[in-house]
Structure 1
Amino acid sequence: MKWFSLLLQAGLSQAAIRFACSQVSIQRLDPLVEPGQIPSAHVHQIVGGNAFNATMTGDIGEQASCTTCTYSEDFSNYWTAVMYFRHENGSYKRVPQYANAQLGYEGRDDPSIKGGMTVYYTQKDFWNNGLNETRITAFPPGFRMTVGNPGTKSISGPGAQPGLGYTCLQTILTRGNETRDFPKEPCPAGIMAIHHFPACWDGKNVDSPDHQSHMFDNTIGAFREAPPCPESHPVRVPQVAYETMWDTTVFKDMWPKDGSQPFVWSFMDSKGYGTHADYLFGWKGDSLQRVMDDNCFFHGCGSPGKQGILKTQTVEEMNKCSVKDMIEEDTEGWLDELPGYPMG
């Protein structure tokens, strides 16, 4: 642990970044939980670098040639399950995503961002970069983790994870009032799915068999600062979080007549308890550590048209990056069954 002590002596920082990543792929691949399996069990929506594949090993930051994220040095991959609308007639249709209104650069929203999600790396909380007493250590090459579990059937007890939730958007700017299950009423501006990852690392393992044990989850949710890390997982890493804006409004005239909640995750979860997310670190070189050592905050760390500690790219460049589909199956349109979950 000598290297960790040296890091603590190097000084403290107060950076936080928030940025958009447009869609890089929607298909049944999961290189963390089901490496090499084509197809994986359920459909995922993926953003980030174009090294994404059925199997991923080594330093991803050195393997990708482009990224769908605002910061051009971030070749990480971020993914979640896909949300579908279940019609009364039993058919399914993928819920489209839209860009987070909080990411308007230079005071303007940019509607041209292609779906995707918003990614956060915070040190303290959502509102300010504070004065942390512990230096934030960037993830090493090869690092990966997951949060949540598609097999979760309850939101109470020891398996509950307060960093996972939903916001029923009254407007595109609604924040707070998070629930642990799918909203039960139509939401005027859609549903925002939120995934907070743990921020305490054991300092040794870049992965673990369950993709979670090398981390300690002391997250309290709602972008609030987590308590200190335990001795078992002493290294404080950035608090990673995703926000995905699902445009459920396109189905407002199809809400079931019996009032039942019609949305499901792509693994056939209609409660929302099994929401989960995957993270595969792929920042180029020392770029993430560089920003974690800085005092910048959100757009001050760099945004299109503005210089900062991180290099950025245009929305057009983000949207050009993609990966090929490896599975020949329809994930769009009206489907008789969810991919991987045939009826009966």
Structure 2
Amino acid sequence: MLGALAQAGGGPGHGGGGPGHGGPPKPSATPTPPPLPSYNGTGPTMLRFGCHQLVVDRIDPLVNPGAIPSPHQHQIVGGDAFNASMPYSDISSLSGCTTCSYSDDFSNYWTSNLYFQARNGSYKRVKQLPSRVFFPGDNASVVTQGGLIAYYVSPGQNMVKAFQPGFRMFFGDPTLRSPPAGKWDLGNQTCFRCYTGPDFGGDEFAPCQDPRVDTMYLPNKKCYGIRSNILFPTCWDGVSLDSADHKSHVAYPLEGPHVFDAIGTAKYCPRSHPVKIPQVMLEIVWDTAEFNDPALWPEDGSQPFVLSTGDHTGYSQHADYVFGWKGDALQVGMEAGCLGAACPGMKTQSLEKGTECSVRELVGENYSGWLSTLPGNPKQPPVTTPTSSTKKPHPTKPPKGDYPSHGGHHW
């Protein structure tokens, strides 16, 4: 990912594609990467830090509050206030510890798990790997035990508004089994990267921007690891901490979902959602190399990996976020003009301290070793009709009646 950041924004976008959809388009030429942006204390900020796994459990306080168990399993990181239900209050005041290296981040982040289904039909959970990137002061993300890497991006000082206590949001749809229909092509917001060789081979461009290795669907070939990236919308209505679908209070910019370029979030936010918020991206690396033995794969060579939703396509990849930064710590970070896991004015903690934080499993299912069914044996959607987005992002000039938020700065 170090090379990927150096080339952020240099790769072309890609469409949905997927099994039965012809796959991703092939690039006509090798893109030329732009130089790294300048992080000089006054320009953009990109927080990038590791969060160890807090717990693996089949609960979901955002989509299925109070349900024990919820329909499918998640892996969760962050503060120890995580529970089957979570109040719309200051989560940081309810937490005693966090698994994240920024010690004022008591937020919770959770995603699906990945399993391998062997030729005999049994399942085994895929282990997670730490990231490969080394930044000054980053002593956690490269040795993270399970969990994920979290990113927060701001274009510069006074350019985004940090989330408020009680805020939460959701990306994705656990029932999807084909490319999502809608206004935007979300291929630059959710993807799987297939590493082409050992030591993160092929990791050359920013997430979801290299059609040679990135797909919205689970790769249908052997990889030396699969990386998941999930990006959240970057505009907010400025009022609602949540919405019925956990999505409607946030929105994409008028010009379309912002790619991950480490320096920007939105050019123009719609009038309905005028407030620019940090771009949040989650990153998980799955150690799929141990399953590359052809004898384990289905006899027809079909894709053997499956998300904990029961989805073999990968289109149900999703992520949940409950904000829990302490006080104004996130706003301080968004104004810092810095890069990585050690920004001025932001508190950090040691690797050992982060691994001490955990919560008790509420469902208590066995998810180790080979299993006859996925945890919960989640029911599958009755219909999986292929769909695809046909509308593409329009030019960045705002339509009449809309306006660029926060002073009209362009990033």
TM over 0.5: yes
CA distance in 1, matches of 2:91, 2:102: 15
Matches within 5 A, 1:164-203: 164-170=190-196, 171-172=199-200, 174-176=203-205, 177=210, 178-188=214-224, 190-203=225-238
* Residue of structure 2 equivalent to 1:332: 368
* Residue of structure 2 equivalent to 1:275: 317
Q: Is contact 2:49–2:141 with CA below 8 Å preserved after alignment?
A: no
Q: Is contact 1:337–1:343 with CA below 8 Å preserved after alignment?
A: no
Matches within 5 A, 1:92-241: 92-103=123-134, 112-124=143-155, 135-155=159-179, 157-158=181-182, 160-162=185-187, 163-170=189-196, 171-172=199-200, 174-176=203-205, 177=210, 178-188=214-224, 190-217=225-252, 218-223=256-261, 225=264, 226-241=266-281
Q: Is contact 1:20–1:103 with CA below 8 Å preserved after alignment?
A: no
* Residue of structure 1 equivalent to 2:396: none
1:24 to 54, 70, 89: 54
Q: 1:104 to 1:298 in 2, by over 3 A?
A: closer
CA distance in 2, matches of 1:110, 1:56: 27
Q: 1:219 to 1:342 in 2, by over 3 A?
A: closer
User: Post-superposition shift, 1:325?
Assistant: 0.7
* Residue of structure 2 equivalent to 1:40: 70
User: Post-superposition shift, 1:108?
Assistant: 7.8
User: Post-superposition shift, 1:341?
Assistant: 1.1
Q: Which runs of 5+ in 2 are unaligned?
A: 1-41, 381-411
CA distance in 2, matches of 1:158, 1:39: 31
User: Post-superposition shift, 1:252?
Assistant: 1.4
Q: Is contact 2:135–2:340 with CA below 8 Å preserved after alignment?
A: no
Q: Is contact 2:138–2:342 with CA below 8 Å preserved after alignment?
A: no
CA distance in 2, matches of 1:145, 1:156: 18
TM-score by length of 1: 0.87
CA distance in 1, matches of 2:167, 2:137: 33
Q: 1:214 to 1:116 in 2, by over 3 A?
A: same
Q: 1:110 to 1:139 in 2, by over 3 A?
A: closer
CA distance in 1, matches of 2:337, 2:258: 24
Superposed CA offset, 1:141-166 (max 9, x none): 00000001111232153175230111
CA distance in 1, matches of 2:60, 2:141: 30
1:246 aligned to 2:286? yes
Q: Is contact 2:55–2:76 with CA below 8 Å preserved after alignment?
A: yes
Q: Is contact 2:135–2:341 with CA below 8 Å preserved after alignment?
A: no
Q: 1:198 to 1:107 in 2, by over 3 A?
A: closer
CA distance in 1, matches of 2:336, 2:101: 18
Q: Is contact 2:50–2:141 with CA below 8 Å preserved after alignment?
A: no
Superposed CA offset, 1:293-320 (max 9, x none): 222222451xxxxxx3211011111111
Q: Which runs of 5+ in 1 are unaligned?
A: 1-11, 125-130, 302-307
User: Post-superposition shift, 1:17?
Assistant: 0.5
CA distance in 1, matches of 2:43, 2:246: 28
* Residue of structure 2 equivalent to 1:318: 354
Q: Which amino acid aligns with 2:373?
A: E
CA distance in 2, matches of 1:49, 1:299: 17
User: Post-superposition shift, 1:16?
Assistant: 1.8
Q: Is contact 1:164–1:221 with CA below 8 Å preserved after alignment?
A: no
Identity %: 45
CA distance in 2, matches of 1:123, 1:291: 9
CA distance in 2, matches of 1:265, 1:203: 34
Q: Which amino acid aligns with 1:244?
A: I
Q: Which amino acid aligns with 1:227?
A: K
User: Post-superposition shift, 1:104?
Assistant: 5.6
CA distance in 2, matches of 1:295, 1:342: 44
CA distance in 1, matches of 2:94, 2:138: 34
Q: Which amino acid aligns with 2:376?
A: G
CA distance in 2, matches of 1:119, 1:108: 14
Relative to structure 2, which stretch is displaced further, 261-270 or 285-294? 285-294
Q: 1:299 to 1:76 in 2, by over 3 A?
A: closer
Q: 1:175 to 1:321 in 2, by over 3 A?
A: farther
Q: Which amino acid aligns with 1:98?
A: L
